[in-house]
Structure 1
Amino acid sequence: MAPRLVYYKVIWDTSPWDTGWAKLIYAFKINNQWIKETVDSSYGDVSVNYYIRPSLSLDRDDHPHIAYVHRYEDNSCSLYYANKVNDAWSLQILDGMPYPGSSAKLQLDTTDYPCIVWGYRTPADTIWRIKYIHWDGDSWNAEIVYDSNDYWDYGASLVIDHKNCPHIAYYESPDPSYLHDSVKYVYWNGVEWVFAWAESIGSGSEHGSLWLCLNDLDYPVIAYCRWPALYCAYYDGSFWHNEFTGDAGSWEIRLCLDSLGLPHIVYIDQCGQRPEYCYRDSSTWHLCGYIEPDPDVVTLRSVSFCLDEDDSPRVVYIGGVGSPNRELMKYAKGTFTGIAENKKSSSMIKEYQLRVYPDITCCYLNIEYTLLKKAKIELALYDIAGNKVKPIELGFYLPGDYQKRVEIGNLGSGVYFVVLKQDDKQVSKKFLLIR
């Protein structure tokens, strides 16, 4: 099963420096061939007129349903719902406001009726609030998910449970600086909205991403960013647990639960700007590095992620190199190893193994590595740009297990790599340092 993707395609007049026009595309795979359909071709100048992070869900007959926000030249926007009717795309405008809107998230309920959340404000209101819109079979219904305060709500994610009740996770900011934000979780119990969990995260971002899933018991799992770190929170029926994954990730966060209910996350680190993958087993988080092997490819939007019947990850995304004319749709599947990290690789370099145990708030880094043969090695610390910031070991070593405790108190916050080189081979592990 390949994931589906909805994205907007920029069409340039003659070159990337001329006027660009956008249309919305739905892509799916049949018999090893990718098919692309135009959902909305109401062209507009992309400098002022574009689609904002469309959202896609499939019904039980595998038919696509899409929600997206279209921003216009005067900074107003409209919320659209699109679905297939008699093999043709049908478009409806559900809502709108005279401001540039946030992204929308769409899910289908147990009867395949569409449900949508998006950030909304009225002309008389300066506060962004989460608006929930759903189809009941006869008409569209809408309401504000109000939590009794006047803070800014943004970045909502939506799931519908087995009882047909909506669950929403979102960010909340008390001021436009995004310096004192929280992540919150709310659900409808059949009578009223219940605000069940909130966690202060400090710095946020208006472009911040999060993703909500429910396990088989309808307990929530939330992947979110505590800037710049990637976190995952979950409820076990009695208590909330909040875990640092070990990596940085703030954009295009996508979460799936496997057959055991364990989380798998695809995300983009603002520094690397390429999709990465991590997952949790029964005991710990595993970072698997970059999905996209080319460091020059930039992916800032349009990421779709699912797990197949074997719980193996499959990802579709739009990547670009240089000019926008070189944007390509890419499809990755299997066990990702990346080029930045080899932790989950089945073809791990057999001459040695590398393990890193950082304390993200401490001044030391614990490194363990195993050599299976006598060899000359180099062990060093690199920053996210590939600059060597600290040499650790250099010389010939006998086979065996080695441990090294490295002082990193002089390093600032950021993403770093421990790189172990042997002959013409190397393996690396990434860690995040927070001060």
Structure 2
Amino acid sequence: MKYLIYILTFLTMGSTYAQSNIKVNEKAPKINITHWIENVPTNKSLDNKFTVLEFWATWCGPCIAAVPHMNKIQSEFNNKDLVYISITDESVEKVKRSLKRIDFKSIVVTDLTKETQINFGDGKKGLDTYPLTVLIDNKGIIKWIGEPKKLNSKIMSKFLANAKTENKDNELKKTEIQIEQNNTLSFKELLSNNEIANYFDIQEAKSTEKLKKTLGTKIISLKAYSLEEIYSDILNIKPDHIKVPTDFQDKRFDLLYKNIEEGSNLELLENNILNKLDLEKNSVFKSTKINMVSIQDESLLEETLEQRFSAKSDADDKIIFTAFTIDNTLDELSNLSSASFKANEDNDTKYDFIIGIKTKRDIINSLKTYGLSVEEKDVNREYITLISRE
């Protein structure tokens, strides 16, 4: 595998949006399409047409979040010589699953050769930023490169009038989904070095820039995380269920962890943290309301087609879960909501979910569309107090 895909949940470093292989006012590379999937036109030729080319992926939350905006742009600008193409490099079956839940007005296609992604990306491996929108005029010249949500009526009007369309996205922040190539070296070493089965390190952060990279629970890298955030985001303890010592409340930590052996990864990780920071954990269990989730209609659950990675990505008022178990999905939803969710039975199968998170009712309604029923029950939940050892 030439590259690995990670979730960067809090990346905020500034960057230009231009891919290294394409530039505004230069000739656009070839657009290669292997399969036309949705809203297929009678005439598939893109010659002499204005093209709004949008790169997306089923696992990319910001891509899914941009769909309503792009649909609105298409409704406003719908000329006969203008086409909207949403292109991915994923399988037809995987794309069709997303189309059951996401309403694209554009022409949805895939390029299984990845030629288009490479041509419009770095020229070697592919894109380094998702989502990405490229405006190409009827002479095949690139007029604008940017984030889809930054595309507006003014830019579109200039584009269709063949006027100079300035690319104002030069100072955009990168989206939460990226293809990681040359970031944290030690993390990259853990990924590539199969001889290292176990590794742990936690240090006080030197930077305030928060960053998360994970490969399931087996390899984890955190930057500038508080103890409360580590327990909430990684160990699945709700923020109001954890209390840390006063002298730790303002501290931020960098954490690097790997455990590819069998056993309880998260339990081992927690023990490592407590020992390194010289802390003890006191737990009490209190009765609380919890939403027990059961499989009611298994036919609505489709096993994931993604074999390379597991991913969680924000899509405004939704979360995209790729290759997640029901248990892990519910743990994440519990951290995001004031309500707690727990699976009624063990199930190690991985699925893909698109879950609305605006309210508890949105979560429950989304779960129901996957054949999952929700019943509120009283259970004992763990409340944790961390204490410095004397």
Q: Smaller-chain TM-score range?
A: 0.3 to 0.5
Tell me the TM-score normalized by structure 2. Answer: 0.32
Higher strand fraction: Structure 1 or Structure 2? 1
Higher RCO (Cα < 8 Å, 6 or more apart): 2
TM-score (norm 1): 0.30
